[in-house]
Amino acid sequence: MQAKFILYSTDGCHLCELAKQVLLNFGLVQEQIQTIDIMDDDMLLSEYKESIPVVMNKENSKRLFWPFNVEDVEEIL
């Protein structure tokens, strides 16, 4: 199964864990969520350091910035 969403995150981010739970509550399974640690990429760190967690739909590049809920995830499909 291929990932449908990217979750930009970092270690120790409790909001990122909440964001992942929202995606799971939406009905996604773990394999559909690609988690990327922004600390591993200077460009991502610069772009998202003040706004993680961020979720992006891989098909259309639409993004959600925290806070968001299940209904918000539906809107980026």
Give per-residue pLDDT as tens, 14-67: 999 999 999 999 999 999 999 999 999 999 999 999 999 999 999 999 999 999
Identify the CATH number of the domain in which residue 31 sits.
3.40.30.10
DSSP state of 11: T
Q: What is the pLDDT of residue 40?
A: 98
Number of domains in the chain: 1
Parent domain of 17 = 5-75
**Tokens read off for 71:** 């209904």
Q: Any idea how long the chain is? A: 77
Is the pLDDT assigned to residue 1 strictly greater than 90?
no
**Tokens read off for 33:** 């969520």
Q: What is the pLDDT of residue 62?
A: 98
What span, in angstroms and rounded, lies between the C-alpha atoms of 5 and 23? 9
